[in-house]
Amino acid sequence: MIEEVKDLHSMGNLSFSMITNKVVAMEPSPSALKVVEKVIREINERSLTKTDKSVIGLAIDLSPAVVFTDDFSVQNVLMKLGIKFSPVRLGRAAQEIKTFTYVCESCGRVYKEPKQECPICGGKIRKSAIKSNQRN
């Protein structure tokens, strides 16, 4: 999780918090990670990192919890799970649950999983929302 902190201000805050024992490193339970993987499959969200999944899993384990993140993909999964979240620096939050598919920009072919390029025409594949529900 620590490797996900990239800007200097946040790294400084994290380092201070760890030195003063305000932050404790934890791993999510296997059962929480299974729930995360199930939801990710349901909404076809393929862009989450292992760290993203761990943070969501910990939020399940430590419920009730609030996750602070600017990552819209993480926010989308949190909404689906009914876990509260708050943006950190952007001041914007996802407003609806989205389910995704992957579409070739050239020929329009739809794929369930992301690909670098369309095997039919060589076009670029982009992530596309196909369904949404309002945020709780």
Q: Are residues 70 and 108 in the same domain?
A: no
- Using only the alpha carbons of the chain, give its radius of gyration: 17
Q: What is the model's pLDDT at position 95?
A: 75
Query: Domain for residue 64, yes or no?
Result: yes
- Separation of alpha carbons 26 and 123, rounded Å: 42
Region 47-69 average pLDDT: 94
Q: Are residues 116 and 49 in the same domain?
A: no
The 10s digit of each residue's pLDDT in 27-55 is 999 999 999 999 999 988 888 999 999 99
Q: Are residues 84 and 103 in the same domain?
A: no
Q: Are residues 6 and 66 in the same domain?
A: yes
Q: What is the model's pLDDT at position 82?
A: 94
- Separation of alpha carbons 75 and 67, rounded Å: 9
The 10s digit of each residue's pLDDT in 83-132 is 999 998 776 777 777 888 889 999 988 887 888 889 989 999 988 887 55
Largest Cα–Cα distance in the chain? 55
- Separation of alpha carbons 123 and 117, rounded Å: 5
Domain that holds residue 122: 97-134
- Separation of alpha carbons 28 and 119, rounded Å: 37
Check: CB of residue 53 under 8 Å from CB of residue 40.
yes
Q: What is the model's pLDDT at position 132?
A: 53
Confidence of residue 5 (pLDDT cuts 50, 70, 90): confident
Check: CB of residue 112 under 8 Å from CB of residue 102.
yes
Domain count, the chain: 2
Element (H, E) at 13: helix 8-19
